[in-house]
Chain A
């Protein structure tokens, strides 16, 4: 009815290859950006629970979405399985911490983006074996990365400036004349910084994916032999995917520490986080940017709802029990999604849109 592409003619290839060729989609995305950049901060500013809403839900959601996009680039677009996402976010976090503590006058946003390059370099190193091995075998390589880096984060005390607690502790950091990170930073400011970075990097990712480089990743993913016979260099394609993916993970990790946690130890980058991001990709949908946001929202917000739901309907339940039920629900959902809709929420969304296009006369 209201979601129709009839009458929207494309007269050049530029508009035909736009991300959102349909007007309604463009309006929709503009609305989402408006929500994210105006409505959410206003609510966070004015409401009494706004602080928790931003710090506890929206900021981690945005950061997780970015890391999920990173993993999705590697897994969903380039088809390389990774179980080391947690450690790659850690590389970004520790790199950013070192940059900020060594060069205090460096702008934090610049430092966050720079730390992505460190993660990318580490990603390339651990991506090298992907040239000879695939699938499960590659999973072992990334596990090696995960456990080796976790170990390094503990043993290499220089990384956390020999702090006896072993933690990264974020001081108050000022940029552009306001405090944007640290204990006394305002949640709205932190949220806006994170959201702007995430929106910008999502836009970049969508550009790269639709171009030559993104296509070469998908060629490798779908049929690596044919891709090579058509002139794709597996080395360049796979390593560029590893680099870009790790870059996103690294930026996400740096933001996790500086804009969300405030203080972080190695546990924030452990293998359970690798699994968490993996689940976000699966549930959201492999090979979909919108799905990355959906998956992050689902996996992050669902446990929060489960945590507060029993209290609101008046049932007393131990926090640890909630944790266990959570594990069971998420685990069950993973199996369910893989069996019923391996392409995740993004695919469901797409199906809904296709249905909507012909609604209410599906046979007309």
Chain B
């Protein structure tokens, strides 16, 4: 009875007894969710265009910020380092298309997945080899990102909003809007959607798959860089992010593998639910449930709605 109470009643009573704390928790979850959504967005871009589930997206995030911070530490001004890093991500995209994707065209998707796991290994080694493996502090101020926080009085309590978090949410929103415009209004965007629909048909009307893939990986690289800057500013630039980024897999299951709005909404849902569960129920299990809760939510989704929130229903044929 006591157990049931502590599962089904206690946490809700806690929530409503201190509403401003609840708001704080929700806000933190929301910001966290935005970052998940950004990582998932990188996955979706690549999955749509090339059918590759890019396990290396997490390490690309780390790699991008490592390059940024590494260049800055080597004496390059922050703005130039940012531009150079974008250039590096571009070169990386071209390199990946050449070395990994092209030889593996038409392979089974599990093979492609494993290739990206190999790629993740390689980038992890290369990133540490070039920029060093120790944790680094993000160059938040040098990039002109706001610091400090505001407080607001809500429901009689004080809720803190870090300026950085607000900036992160705004920048994420702008990035998504920019990508949406790019993919719906430009020639390359149309070509990309064609490729996403049907590789061979796209080839037959003269779209270069290789070019599209390089562009998409580049776009994913930029998304990774933005994600990394936000993430690094909130905590540290470290390789731990590689594992955390795997949560995007859970996000994608919930949102559907090919849906950009799905990735964003699911990312936010995962961020919120995970935070709520950790704060209000986590203590029942001894804490640290954030590490796996997202996957369990994804599992439940898999059993009841395998195509995700926005995916298309899968019909099997003989």
Contact = CB atoms under 8 A, between A and B. Distances in A.
Nearest to A332: B122
A335 B100 contact: yes
Interface string B54-81: 0000000000000000000000000000
A133 B306 CA distance: 7
Interface string A300-332: 000000000000000000001101111111111
A338 B107 contact: yes
Contact of B121 (A155, A321, A327): A327
A204 to B, nearest CB: 27
B203 to A, nearest CB: 20
A268 B161 CA distance: 40
Contacts of A151: 288-289, 291-292
B37 interface: no
B128 interface: yes
B157 interface: no
Contacts of B168: none
B299 A141 contact: yes
A179 interface: no
Interface in B272-318: 285-289, 291-292, 295-296, 298-299, 302-303, 306, 316, 318
Q: Is the interface of B mostly helix, strand, loop or mixed?
A: helix
B303 A132 contact: yes
Given A147-B295, A320-B133, A339-B115, A327 B289 contact: no
Interface residues of B, number: 47
B118 A334 contact: yes
A56 interface: no
Interface string B122-133: 111110110001
Contact of A225 (B303, B306, B316): B316
Contact of B118 (A320, A321, A338): A338
Contacts of A275: 117, 121
Contact of B299 (A129, A320, A329, A333): A129
A339 B295 contact: no
B122 A325 contact: no
A137 B302 contact: yes
Contact of B107 (A143, A271, A331, A342): A342
Interface stretch (B7-15, B182-190, B245-253): B245-253
Interface of B: 53, 99-100, 103-104, 107, 109-111, 113-115, 117-126, 128-129, 133, 243, 246, 249-250, 253, 257, 285-289, 291-292, 295-296, 298-299, 302-303, 306, 316, 318
Interface of A: 81, 129, 132-133, 135-137, 139-141, 143-144, 147-148, 150-151, 154-155, 225, 271, 275, 278-279, 282, 320-321, 323-335, 338-340, 342
6 contacts: A140-B295, A271-B243, A279-B117, A282-B114, A321-B129, A335-B118
